[in-house]
Structure 1
């Protein structure tokens, strides 16, 4: 991770004013390079500072959401692959928008899988993009601001944070189910 940050910093220094555009492009190429979202956002905070890094990460993640929408709707094989992954990871489970937002904050949860959930919940591309963009604010800010610190925490602190997010996720599901049953 440290080597990645150093080589990225040298590269960005050499490209000058193109650095923000290349960073956004890195967000778009991230799935092909098997880089986790958190690694790219950490690099953004390191290279551009908190505000600019979070803003550029938000733009990159939002563009990635748009690409996810296109991939799911234009390529039936891709949609099928994501649907099979959905059944494998969350069998017979319907997630709420709030749960998808919580999962977006968790590192290493498949970005396109969560996009598929949002696509299935929304009625149009415009609605999908609005909800998706709202759900990307928190990860862009959290990963950029705290990503480096989170990655340096002892394993038990990282596990505790993951368990806290999982508890919030579970609480939302139970709360949603109780609301549905009472209606």
Structure 2
């Protein structure tokens, strides 16, 4: 993954548009495949989501981006399960303890919050969830719930850049408002779940 970051050039949105358009009817599948691979690595997924809006518009771009990023997240989870906790800890480096502490005891809520928060990459959440024992069903449900508004907000930005209509502008505003509201609600549930888990683990007073 480190080698990929420093040696693989991810095309700009304009370059991606030219390359993917050349596949004709298969452009949808190519885009989903590229997005899934990017989501498996530490490469930020933002450029792919924005490119989805430039290429396919807000509605179709959001659908394809959500499918692609969920496939990549799901693959990262199972890859971490296969690699084992020790190896994933080395991959996460100094962030391993932080990721584990965030996910411990409030897996569903933590995944939702970490997915929604702008600036937090997906890959530590993917690998941390797989390595630190987050239940697969909880991880997948949390990912689906939180990925959709986040991806729509980014795809809508790309669509607005390509075509600055009131519809695309409204989509951007509504998507980001949804992300903010869900982040606040999920953060509160996360803190509550983590506190309840801590209290349940504390020894009873004698």
TM-score normalised to structure 1 length: 0.70
Q: Could you say which residue in structure 2 is the equivalent of 1:17? A: 25
Alpha-carbon RMSD? 3.5
Count of aligned positions: 166
Q: Could you say which residue in structure 2 is the equivalent of 1:29? A: 37
Q: Could you say which residue in structure 2 is the equivalent of 1:138? A: 149
1:72–1:116 CA contact under 8 A, matched in 2: yes
1:108–1:8: structure 2 CA closer, same or farther, 3 Å change rule? Answer: same
Q: CA deviation at 1:129?
A: 2.6
Q: 1:121 aligns with which of 111, 134, 137?
A: 134
Q: Provide Cα deviations, 1:5-44, integer angstroms capped at 9, x if missing partner.
A: 2111111221111111111121123257754111110100
Q: Could you say which residue in structure 1 is the equivalent of 2:59? A: 51
Instruction: Give, in whole Å, the separation in 2 of the partners of 1:180 and 1:88.
Output: 18
Q: Could you say which residue in structure 1 is the equivalent of 2:90? A: 81
Partner secondary structure for residue 23 of structure 2: helix
Q: 1:111 aligns with which of 112, 116, 122?
A: 122
Instruction: Give, in whole Å, the separation in 2 of the partners of 1:88 and 1:181.
Output: 17
Q: CA deviation at 1:144?
A: 1.1
Instruction: Give, in whole Å, the separation in 1 of the partners of 2:194 and 2:28.
Output: 43
Q: 1:7 aligns with which of 15, 22, 30?
A: 15
Instruction: Give, in whole Å, the separation in 1 of the partners of 2:152 and 2:39.
Output: 20
1:148–1:51: structure 2 CA closer, same or farther, 3 Å change rule? Answer: closer
Q: Provide Cα deviations, 1:49-77, integer angstroms capped at 9, x if missing partner.
A: 11111111111111112211221111125
TM-score normalised to structure 2 length: 0.63
Q: 1:98 aligns with which of 106, 109, 129?
A: 109
1:47–1:53 CA contact under 8 A, matched in 2: yes
Runs of 5+ unmatched residues, structure 2: 1-10, 162-176, 201-206
